[in-house]
């Protein structure tokens, strides 16, 4: 007989409207081999997410081996000692599960979205590749994924309009020896040079349980899940302590202006600043500044460039928040017949205005209200919650940092915004990149 | 400090616990326990006093409500010469409505922490609204302004028109858009709405009268449905809906007659030249079946095996075995009319010919007897993964849109898993033979002609026709 679970969609997280508290209850423990574990129960639907963060990304790579952390992410799907090549995906799919992984400068994550009856399978697979990857590995696996990653680079950057600019920005923003000074995807040359021995060394150095965090969120029994984790990860050997990366805080000494030609119709301007690390003072202000500038029709840059002047086809901004430094981007695509100098002038005027005048309370409240909805709606998805619990744990040490995170934004006032704009969005410390249609360098932003 | 102690304490407890922990048996993958069945809360149907149908599913996990107003019209109803009109009209709905200008409206919505967006697809258009359940009334008030009293101001029309024309220009940069446009055009032909798309001439024709007429024709009770999912009950929401949607105009649905598309004859190969492209975008396909075709379940399982998942044959072949691509796959679009079957991938330029050849290897292979393991995986992936479509209110609301659009029975979701698990080998094999016909396929490649031509010719698949991007998108618009 099939077990039938009648779903009654009832409240599973605590949101007290009056106090504006957003909490995600969790259990946390550490295995003897050093693996950190976070559990959160949410039985909205009969599914769960198994989410593993390894605290290694392209920021731990050596020069001449750029793109390695990401190449390695691919290799982790190619089987392990007790999982023949191809079976990782086949077995999960045969259980109705989806899986994927991603790599940033700071970390590599992997997840399986599973029907809740497939928890043992997911734990078997994750523990096997954490503990027993090397016996199954061979040079052919590395070669195969090297080709796939090169095609990922082609698809995501080279064959995409404006894509090549993202490959050049890291070197313009960071000093040569800084671990953020190369793109996560790496260079074609370095990808070709990666050897089997590099893979072995990387795994041995970074893929130890003590450098990882396992979060399971969804339709789980907390006691049974804990037992299953103890079982599947009990034979995963503890690794050696992981070498610490601790680069000096980077800063730009000047404004760097760069012009790039690309096979595009409309020119695009990218302005990029180096800003404080994720969750550090100034970081919340910059997230809010980004929203003030480009979120919604009344945001300052959208309203000015797209709505009123109609000189831009689109404008966006965001903070790429990372462990050792963050980046603040403004990206605007010009309408036909408009030069990037025109765009830059209007953008600069809006930045200056934000530097000189505190935004009105209503303008800031509008953004905070949107942030609040964002915080609440992400609680609907176990996959989101699992990744967020792991993210908060990595960057702040507290998995349930939801409420603290939201309070960071609520605490910002208009004066903080102006002063952060002055402090971080400086005219003489940034990269200004013009991407223009091939042969039309006259459209670039001129100083 | 407290946290550190807590963790240390756990380690101590676990060190003793682990001795008792069962050692894992890694010789075979662990058996799965019984899967839990998907049983959704009831679908509640009722009508407002003006006859506007409402579908409600309660979900009280978070204090949010999703409200979708579905309007059953889309780009396939756009008259010839006015391609893109429905999309344009839907986009203009929230550029000023009721007493609010475009900017005021956006400010009011965002201040509530709500999100109201409009969309228009091939068959369906609508207004989707997400709001906190505490602010439902204020949000609905703004939503009904957008739905019932759009201003269609001339300055907003001209502004969005300019945006559309610049957008057309950007399409020349996008290999995937070029590929999609070329494929639709060549599969369905300009003589049907499925083979037409917005162009400079059509965009320049839209007038305020067109928009007003679109709105008047389609925003009527007989053509519309309100879909609500979230933290409300029928009792709590009905008076609010009556207050705001009670004046939604009564009227009958207008359904344009849709031409029956003609199947691909023989193998037709087109190369659209994009000099310097680092990859070639390949699309191969033919006309498939409409939604609710009697063998749709067999087709879905068959396609999952062929190209519908990561471990599918196309992805395994092109990505894992050959390293030609970052990914390859296939899909059937089940429309009200027979939608396309499309297999596709972006492959590196210098292996375009061999990559194209591998698609045909897989097309032939899927027509051969099916191994049990493939069938099991295909069925389970579809069936056991199904519950994942019902996690958020937004997911559920879009499933309910399908329910209305394709007139599915109310027990459709709760019986879907069982239905897919009942699919058998004979049915899947028959679907492959019937719908994956390698001799009758349209092939469109967007890539660097000079570098890929010889490799494609070598396959001897058939006559190759060469096109330019302008042949597909038209002359670049003069702005």
Greatest CA span in chain A, whole angstroms? 74
Same domain, B300 and B154: no
pLDDT at A379: 92
Kindly provide the ipTM of the predicted complex, given to two decimals: 0.92
> What are the C-alpha distances in Å from B247 to residues A137, B138, B145, B148, B230?
67, 17, 11, 8, 24
The CATH number of residue B91's host domain is 3.30.830.10
CB-based contacts of B327, cutoff 8 Å, min separation 6: B315, B318, B319, B345, B346
B20 pLDDT exceeds 90?
A: no
Same domain, A158 and A50: yes
Same domain, A439 and A346: yes
Confidence of residue B21 (pLDDT cuts 50, 70, 90): low
Q: What is the 3-state secondary structure (H, E, C) of B119-161?
A: EECCCCEEEEEEEEHHHHHHHHHHHHHHHHCECCCHHHHHHHH
Nearest CA in chain B to A160: B174
- Contact across the interface for A362 and B111, Cβ inside 8 Å: yes
Same domain, B51 and B195: yes
Per DSSP, the residues of A97-165 read -EEEEEE-SS-EEEEEEEEGGGHHHHHHHHHHHHHS-GGG--HHHHHHHHHHHHHHHIIIIITSTTHHH
For residues A28 and A393, give the distance between their C-alpha atoms in angstroms, rounded to a whole number.
10
Same domain, A326 and A216: no
Segment B253-266 shows an average pLDDT of 88
pLDDT at B264: 97
- Beta strands A268-275 and A312-320 are unpaired
Of B243, B254, B253, which is closest to residue B49 (Cα–Cα)? B243
Q: Is A285 contained in some domain?
A: yes
For residues A88 and A121, give the distance between their C-alpha atoms in angstroms, rounded to a whole number.
10
Q: CB-based contact (8 Å) between A266 and chain B?
A: yes
Q: Is A202 contained in some domain?
A: yes
Q: Is B291 contained in some domain?
A: yes
Same domain, A214 and A310: no
Same domain, A195 and A161: yes
Same domain, A69 and A104: yes
Nearest CA in chain A to B35: A117
CA A134 to mean position of chain CA atoms: 28
Same domain, B361 and B457: yes
Same domain, A155 and A295: no
For residues B3 and B168, give the distance between their C-alpha atoms in angstroms, rounded to a whole number.
57
Last residue of a domain, one of A174, A198, A233: A233
Same domain, B210 and B311: no
Q: Is A240 contained in some domain?
A: no
- Beta strands A430-437 and A255-262 are parallel
Residue B158: CB atoms within 10 A of its CB come to: 11
pLDDT at B10: 35
Interface of B with A in 194-253 (CB under 8 A): none
Q: What is the pLDDT of residues B175-192, one digit of tens each?
A: 999 999 999 999 999 999
The CATH number of residue A76's host domain is 3.30.830.10
Counting the structural domains of chain A, the total is 2
Q: CB-based contact (8 Å) between A5 and chain B?
A: yes
Same domain, A64 and A149: yes
Counting the structural domains of chain B, the total is 2
Q: Is A12 contained in some domain?
A: no
Phi/psi for A109 (5° steps) reads -120, 155
Token pair recorded at residue A392 = 């908060």
pTM of the prediction?
A: 0.93
Segment B375-400 shows an average pLDDT of 96
Same domain, B230 and B371: no
For residues B193 and B4, give the distance between their C-alpha atoms in angstroms, rounded to a whole number.
65
For residues A153 and B132, give the distance between their C-alpha atoms in angstroms, rounded to a whole number.
40
Mutate to test the interface with B, among A87, A143, A154, A213 (most CBs of B within 10 A): A154
Interface of A with B in 214-233 (CB under 8 A): 219, 227, 230-232
Nearest CA in chain A to B17: A230
Phi/psi for A189 (5° steps) reads -60, -50
Same domain, B221 and B317: no
Q: What is the pLDDT of residues B178-232, one digit of tens each?
A: 999 999 999 999 999 999 999 999 999 999 999 999 999 999 999 999 999 999 9
For residues A112 and A76, give the distance between their C-alpha atoms in angstroms, rounded to a whole number.
13
**Smallest Cβ distance to A89: which of B310, B383, B393?**
B310
Mutate to test the interface with B, among A140, A377, A400 (most CBs of B within 10 A): A377
Interface of B with A in 382-441 (CB under 8 A): 383-388, 390-393
Segment B367-393 shows an average pLDDT of 96
Q: Which domain covers residue B310, as residue numbers?
A: 267-473
Of A136, A119, A132, which is closest to residue A235 (Cα–Cα)? A132
pLDDT at B296: 97
Rg of chain B (C-alpha set)? 26
Average pLDDT along chain B = 94
Q: What is the pLDDT of residues B322-339, one digit of tens each?
A: 999 999 999 999 999 999
Q: Is A69 contained in some domain?
A: yes
B11 pLDDT exceeds 50?
A: no
CA A141 to mean position of chain CA atoms: 26
- Contact across the interface for A151 and B17, Cβ inside 8 Å: no
- Contact across the interface for A46 and B102, Cβ inside 8 Å: no
pLDDT at A77: 96
For residues A101 and A96, give the distance between their C-alpha atoms in angstroms, rounded to a whole number.
17
Same domain, B286 and B389: yes
- Contact across the interface for B320 and A86, Cβ inside 8 Å: yes
Same domain, A100 and A205: yes
- Contact across the interface for B36 and A82, Cβ inside 8 Å: no
Same domain, B216 and B297: no
**Smallest Cβ distance to B18: which of A42, A91, A230?**
A230
For residues B344 and B400, give the distance between their C-alpha atoms in angstroms, rounded to a whole number.
29
pLDDT at B19: 43
Of A59, A50, A432, which is closest to residue A254 (Cα–Cα)? A432
Give chain A's residues under pLDDT 70: 1-20
Interface of A with B in 325-344 (CB under 8 A): 333, 335-337
Same domain, B205 and B287: no
Q: Is B478 contained in some domain?
A: no
B8 pLDDT exceeds 50?
A: no
- Is the separation of the CB atoms in B118 and B86 below 8 Å? no
For residues A163 and A174, give the distance between their C-alpha atoms in angstroms, rounded to a whole number.
19
pLDDT at B257: 82
CA B218 to mean position of chain CA atoms: 22
Q: Is B67 contained in some domain?
A: yes
The total number of residues shown for chain B amounts to: 479
**Smallest Cβ distance to B32: which of A42, A95, A264?**
A95
**Smallest Cβ distance to A365: which of B21, B27, B111?**
B111
Q: Is B11 contained in some domain?
A: no
Same domain, B286 and B151: no
Q: What is the pLDDT of residues B274-309, one digit of tens each?
A: 999 999 999 999 999 999 999 999 999 999 999 999
pLDDT at B253: 78
Q: Is A238 contained in some domain?
A: no
Q: CB-based contact (8 Å) between B190 and chain A?
A: no
Q: CB-based contact (8 Å) between A411 and chain B?
A: no
The torsion of the CA quartet A180, A181, A185, A189, rounded to 10 degrees, works out to -140
**Smallest Cβ distance to A128: which of B26, B103, B130?**
B26
Q: Is B368 contained in some domain?
A: yes
- Beta strands A430-437 and A47-54 are unpaired
Residue A64 burial (C-beta neighbours within 10 Å; 0-12, 13-18, 19+)? exposed
- Contact across the interface for A120 and B32, Cβ inside 8 Å: yes
Q: Is B453 contained in some domain?
A: yes
Same domain, A156 and A269: no
pLDDT at B39: 87
CA A154 to mean position of chain CA atoms: 20
Same domain, A311 and A224: no
pLDDT at A245: 85
Q: Is B389 contained in some domain?
A: yes
pLDDT at B421: 95
How many alpha carbons lie under 13 Å from residue A400 in its C-beta half-sphere? 14
Same domain, B124 and B187: yes
pLDDT at B6: 33
Last residue of a domain, one of B177, B210, B245: B245
Q: Is B398 contained in some domain?
A: yes
Q: Residues of B with CB below 8 A from A265's CB?
A: 169-170, 172-173, 476
Q: What is the pLDDT of residues B76-125, one digit of tens each?
A: 999 999 999 999 999 999 999 999 999 999 999 999 999 999 999 999 99
Last residue of a domain, one of B210, B245, B280: B245
Same domain, A286 and A138: no
Q: Which domain covers residue A201, as residue numbers?
A: 24-233
CB-based contacts of B153, cutoff 8 Å, min separation 6: B95, B96, B102
Q: Is A262 contained in some domain?
A: yes
Q: Is A11 contained in some domain?
A: no
CB-based contacts of A392, cutoff 8 Å, min separation 6: A398, A399, A400, A401, A402, A405
Last residue of a domain, one of A233, A268, A292: A233
**Which helix (DSSP H) or strand (DSSP E) does residue B284 occupy?**
strand B279-287
Same domain, B274 and B370: yes
């Amino acid at each position: 007989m099939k077990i039938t679970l009648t779903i009654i969609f009832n409240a599973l997280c605590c949101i007290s409207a009056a106090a504006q508290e957003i909490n995600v209850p969790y259990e946390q423990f550490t295995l003897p081999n050093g693996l950190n574990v976070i559990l959160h129960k949410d039985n909205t639907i009969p599914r769960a997410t198994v989410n593993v963060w390894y605290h290694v990304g392209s920021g731990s790579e050596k020069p001449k081996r750029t793109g390695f952390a990401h190449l390695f992410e691919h290799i982790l799907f190619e089987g392990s000692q007790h999982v023949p090549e191809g079976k990782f995906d086949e077995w999960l799919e045969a259980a109705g599960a989806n899986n994927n992984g991603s790599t940033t400068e700071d970390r590599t994550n992997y997840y399986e979205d599973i029907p809740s009856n497939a928890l043992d399978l997911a734990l078997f697979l994750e523990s096997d590749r954490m503990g027993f990857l090397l016996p199954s590995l061979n040079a052919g696996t590395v070669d195969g994924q090297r080709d796939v990653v090169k095609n990922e680079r082609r698809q995501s950057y080279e064959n995409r309009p404006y894509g090549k600019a993202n490959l050049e920005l890291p070197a313009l923003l960071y000093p040569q020896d800084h671990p953020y000074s190369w793109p996560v995807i790496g260079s074609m040359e370095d990808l070709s040079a990666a050897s089997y021995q590099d893979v072995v060394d990387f795994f041995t150095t970074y893929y130890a349980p003590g450098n990882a965090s396992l979060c399971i969120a969804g339709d789980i029994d907390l006691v049974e899940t804990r037992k299953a984790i103890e079982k599947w990860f009990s034979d995963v050997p503890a690794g050696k302590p992981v070498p610490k990366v601790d680069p000096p805080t980077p800063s730009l000494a000047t404004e760097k202006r760069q012009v790039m030609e690309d096979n595009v119709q409309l020119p695009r301007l990218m302005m990029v600043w180096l800003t404080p690390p994720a969750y550090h003072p100034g970081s919340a202000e910059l997230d809010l500044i980004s929203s003030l500038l480009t979120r919604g029709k009344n945001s300052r840059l959208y309203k000015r460039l797209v709505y009123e002047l109609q000189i831009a086809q689109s404008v966006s901004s965001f903070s790429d928040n990372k462990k050792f430094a963050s980046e603040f981007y403004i990206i605007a695509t010009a309408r036909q017949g408009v030069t990037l100098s025109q765009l830059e002038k209007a953008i600069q005027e809006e930045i200056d205005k934000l530097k000189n005048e505190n935004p009105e309370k209503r303008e800031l409240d509008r953004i905070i209200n949107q942030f609040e909805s964002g915080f609440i709606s992400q609680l609907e998805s176990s996959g989101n919650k699992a990744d967020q619990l792991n993210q908060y744990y990595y960057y702040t040490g507290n998995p349930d940092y939801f409420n603290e995170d939201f309070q960071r934004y609520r605490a910002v006032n208009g004066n903080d915004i102006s002063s952060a704009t002055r402090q971080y969005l400086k005219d003489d410390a940034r990269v200004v990149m013009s991407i223009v249609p091939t042969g039309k360098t006259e459209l670039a932003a001129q100083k | 400090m407290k946290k550190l102690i807590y963790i240390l304490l756990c380690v101590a407890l676990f060190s003793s616990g682990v001795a008792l922990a069962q050692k894992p048996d890694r010789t075979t993958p662990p058996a799965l326990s019984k899967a839990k069945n998907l049983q959704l809360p009831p679908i509640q149907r009722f009508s407002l006093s003006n006859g506007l149908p409402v579908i409600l599913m309660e979900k009280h996990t978070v204090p949010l409500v999703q409200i979708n107003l579905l309007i059953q019209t889309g780009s396939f109803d756009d008259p010839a010469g006015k391609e893109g009109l429905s999309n344009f009209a839907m986009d203009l709905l929230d550029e000023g409505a009721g007493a609010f200008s475009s900017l005021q409206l956006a400010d009011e919505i965002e201040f509530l922490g709500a999100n109201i967006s409009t969309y228009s697809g091939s068959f369906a258009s609508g207004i989707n609204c997400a709001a906190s359940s505490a602010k439902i009334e204020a949000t609905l008030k703004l939503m009904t302004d957008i739905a019932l009293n759009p201003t269609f101001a001339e300055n907003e029309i001209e502004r969005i028109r300019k945006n559309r024309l610049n957008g057309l220009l950007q399409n020349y940069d996008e290999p995937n858009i070029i590929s999609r446009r070329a494929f639709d055009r060549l599969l369905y032909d300009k003589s049907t709405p499925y083979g037409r798309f917005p162009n400079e001439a059509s965009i320049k024709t839209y007038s305020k009268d067109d928009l007003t007429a679109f709105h008047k024709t389609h925003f009527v009770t007989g053509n519309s449905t309100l879909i609500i999912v979230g933290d409300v009950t029928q009792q709590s929401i009905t008076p609010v809906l009556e207050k705001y949607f009670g004046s939604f105009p009564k009227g009958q649905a207008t359904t344009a007659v849709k031409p029956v598309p003609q199947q691909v004859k023989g193998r037709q190969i087109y190369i659209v030249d994009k000099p310097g492209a680092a990859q070639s975008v390949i699309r191969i396909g033919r006309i498939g079946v409409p939604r609710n075709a009697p063998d749709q379940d067999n087709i879905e399982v068959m396609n999952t095996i062929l190209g519908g998942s990561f471990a599918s044959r196309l992805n395994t072949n092109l990505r894992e075995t050959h390293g030609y691509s970052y990914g390859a796959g296939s899909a059937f679009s089940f429309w009200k009319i027979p939608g396309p079957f499309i297999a596709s991938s972006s492959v590196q330029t210098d292996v375009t010919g061999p990559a194209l050849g591998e698609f045909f290897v897989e097309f032939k292979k899927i027509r051969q007897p099916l191994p049990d393991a493939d069938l099991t995986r295909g069925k389970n992936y579809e069936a056991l993964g199904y519950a994942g479509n019902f996690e958020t209110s937004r997911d559920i609301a879009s499933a309910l849109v399908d329910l209305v659009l394709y007139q599915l029975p109310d027990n459709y979701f709760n019986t879907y898993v069982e239905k897919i698990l009942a699919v058998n080998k004979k049915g899947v094999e028959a679907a492959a033979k019937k719908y994956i016909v390698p001799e009758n396929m349209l092939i469109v490649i967007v890539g660097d002609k000079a570098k890929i031509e010889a490799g494609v010719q070598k396959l001897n698949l058939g006559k190759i026709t060469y096109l330019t991007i302008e042949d597909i998108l038209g002359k670049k618009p003069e702005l």
